[in-house]
Each structure stands twice: as structure tokens, then as C-alpha cells.
Amino acid sequence: MIDLHTHSSRSDGTDAPADLVAQAAQAGLGTLAITDHDTTAGWDEAAEAAQRHGVALVRGAELSTRHRGRSVHLLAYLFDPTDAALVAEMDRMRDDRVPRLQRIVERMAADGFDVTWADVMAQVEEGAALGRPHLADALVAKGIAAHRNEVFDQWLHNGSAYYEPHYAVETAEAVRLVRAAGGVPVVAHPFATKRQRSLDGDDVAELVEAGLAGIEVDHRDHDDAGRALARELGDRHDLVPTGSSDFHGDGKTNRLGENTTAPESLARIEALATGVPVLR
């Protein structure tokens, strides 16, 4: 089984990269991608664990991008982690998450929530990319909510009174940057029903012109219509179709291997990549 979208504690997952790989092996996965938000900080630890557990590792990241004012997540696989232009954008996206999250904490505290910046930082591993899930974890730790999903459903969703935007590179530019770094850009869950739908058919065509290589088809946030549309657009534009869990450990109910990618899709991704290889 091949799962090409997972997160570790280097962003908003709850498992260290090595533990993520160990769980993948226990779940019967033969190939795992580590795709933390806007960071490659977990690559080395995951690589060592993958060798130990006999799991093939696809090194990647999930980039925070924006297309026509809408949030779009872009999976970037097998890119050169030293590429200066891509690294600069990833650094900028990570850095802007800090003041953004501070503003959210300040607004919630002003409204009577018993939460401080120190409470949030207590939930963050050193060097991890910060995000709203860490604030959600702080609220859970304080007993204000039972789990992350409750926090997002009530207070931290994109349409909430506490939503704050953060810097995100334009999606087409991110696609070009990933390609220039020898990577393979694949749009993540573009037709999700549990969040703002990020793209339509014309948007996908525009991103194909920029160099988009693939589309995530099988994802738990896609209903049957969304999966069908993703597959149809993939066929129309010769995009690599993928499927994955979007696993976050205990941070979400998603389970490793609940959606998977076909071996021929992984082979196409490997053939396109010139940045770093799949580790086997």
C-alpha cells in the first residue's frame, strides 16, 4: 500500500517522524510520504526510521498557497530541499504563521478564553511549523474542548470570528517553484466538502498550464461527486491521480492507508522528479 499524504509533529501531526514511519509499517504500508506543512524538518528522522522498518519513503511537503483568494494546499514531492527560491517561500510561509497565531490567541483571550501564548507553545515541538492545530491542542489541554475537531468546528474554522489569514504564495507560482526545484506538484483535496472548496475545472486547467503534475482523488474529504470530478479532470489533463490518508496521528480521525495511491501513479511521480529520489 502507498500513502502519499501524512503529517508528523514537525507540523500539525501528533507523532514524531520516526513514530509515524513505525506506525506506517505496522499498518502494512510499503511506501509512505511525509508531507508536513511548509517544512522539511522531519525528513532526516523519517529517512532513518524508514530504512530501519523497511518502508519506502517519499519526501515531500504540503505548501500553503492561495488561488483567486482561496486557500489551496499543494503537495510537493521529491524536490531539492536546498533550492533557494522554494526554501525562501517556505520560510516566509512558516514565519508568518507565528504573528497570525498570536493574533488569534490575543483575540480569544480578550473574549474570555483561558489561553495564553505560553499554553500554545507548550504544545509545539522545537522547530515545528506552527498552526491553528497547536492552539486547538492548547484549548483541549486546558479542558475547554474535548478534541481538536470540536475546536475547529466551533471556533477555528475559516469562517469563524477568530479566523486570521496568513501569507501564502500564489498556487501557480508555487507549482512553478516546485517544478524548478526538481519536484512534483500535486493539488491536495481540491473538492473537499468539509472545508472551502478550493478549485473548479477552469482553475485546474490554469494550474496545469503552470506545471501541475497531479491531483489527489481519493481523500476522505471528497464525496463521490468530488472524487469523480477529480478523476475526470485528471484524465482530461493527464494528471497523476493519487489517494491518501492525510494522517495527523491523534489530531484527526484519519487512519493510515484509508486511501491509497496506485503503484503506477507513484512510478509516474518518480519519473518526473529530479530533486531527490524515493528512499528504498
2-90+166-272, which class in CATH? alpha beta
What residue ranges in 183-228 does DSSP mark as E strands? Answer: 184-187, 214-218
DSSP summary character for residue 258: S
The answer to whether residue 229 scores a pLDDT higher than 80 is yes
Output the average pLDDT for the chain: 95
User: How high is the pLDDT of residue 161?
Assistant: 93
DSSP summary character for residue 235: H
Instruction: Please report how the helices 224-237 and 201-210 are oriented relative to each other, as an axis angle in degrees rounded to 10.
Output: 40
pLDDT tens per residue, range 21-36: 999 999 999 999 999 9
Cα–Cα nearest to 17, from 29, 25, 9, 26: 9
The confidence band for 128, taking pLDDT boundaries of 50, 70 and 90, is confident
Q: Distance between CA 235 and CA 210 in Å, rounded?
A: 17
User: How high is the pLDDT of residue 127?
Assistant: 81
User: How high is the pLDDT of residue 85?
Assistant: 98
SS3 108: helix
Q: Distance between CA 145 and CA 137 in Å, rounded?
A: 9
What residue ranges in the chain does DSSP mark as E strands? Answer: 2-3, 31-34, 56-67, 70-77, 169-170, 184-187, 214-218, 240-243
The confidence band for 143, taking pLDDT boundaries of 50, 70 and 90, is very high
As given in the structure block, the three cell numbers for residue 274 are: 529530479
The confidence band for 196, taking pLDDT boundaries of 50, 70 and 90, is low
pLDDT tens per residue, range 242-263: 999 999 998 788 999 999 999 9
The answer to whether residue 104 scores a pLDDT higher than 90 is yes
The angle at the Cα of 85, spanning 84 to 88, to the nearest 5 degrees, equals 85
pLDDT tens per residue, range 53-101: 999 999 999 999 999 989 999 999 999 999 999 999 999 999 999 999 9
Instruction: Please report how the helices 132-141 and 84-110 are oriented relative to each other, as an axis angle in degrees rounded to 10.
Output: 40
Q: Distance between CA 41 and CA 11 in Å, rounded?
A: 9
The answer to whether residue 180 scores a pLDDT higher than 90 is yes
The confidence band for 194, taking pLDDT boundaries of 50, 70 and 90, is confident
User: How high is the pLDDT of residue 80?
Assistant: 98
The answer to whether residue 197 scores a pLDDT higher than 70 is no
The whole-number average pLDDT for the span 146-155 is: 92
The whole-number average pLDDT for the span 164-185 is: 96
The whole-number average pLDDT for the span 124-150 is: 92
